[in-house]
Amino acid sequence: MQDSLVQEWPELKSEDYMLAIMTDAQSRVGTINVDVFMSDMAEQFANAWLEVMNSPKLRLYCTWHVDQAWRKNLHKIKTKEKQVTVYKQLRTVLQETDVLAFDKMLEALYVSLYEDKDTNDFAEYFKIYYMKNPTLWAYCHKNWCRNKHKYVPRNNAPNFKTNIFQG
């Protein structure tokens, strides 16, 4: 779930380091108020933001990071054919925009993963990281952002990282 920046600068894994960055940013520009806070799934950045800046109305995981994490963990599925099938099912569930339909699809997907011996390990991973917090990653919970702001933000993480860490 880590991106290349964290791999290049291991100190970014430290919540204290991220807290220092956020505190410095706040001292320079003041408290930033946002409706939506989107980040990768590493908690240190979000925790630092929440401690220093005001809490957002909505917190989301970046879809790109969710997708990358899923792809990296498909090896927990025993056959390539099932990896392809499960990935397609994950993307279908992820992109469902109706909350009720999403809830049904998510439960059905988890049950099918859990009951299949070839996908059971992936089901355990999925349960730990995604079943408990669909409001952070599912499109149906991102509708508020699209409806309020009339666009879906693109991934600005590379620009943010370049500006913050390289001046």
pLDDT in tens, the chain (167 residues): 444 444 555 555 678 888 888 888 899 999 988 888 888 888 888 888 888 888 888 888 999 999 999 999 999 999 999 999 999 999 999 999 999 999 999 999 999 999 999 999 999 999 999 999 999 999 998 765 554 444 344 455 554 444 344 44
- Whether residues 17 and 82 share a domain: the answer is no
CA distances from residue 33 to 25, 52, 90, 135 in whole angstroms, order as listed: 13, 11, 32, 20
Q: Helices (DSSP H) in 77-142: which residue ranges?
A: 80-95, 99-115, 120-126
- Whether residues 105 and 125 share a domain: the answer is yes
Cα angle for residues 133, 91, 153 (degrees, 5° grid): 75
Domain that holds residue 25: 4-61+154-166
The total of structural domains in the chain comes to 2
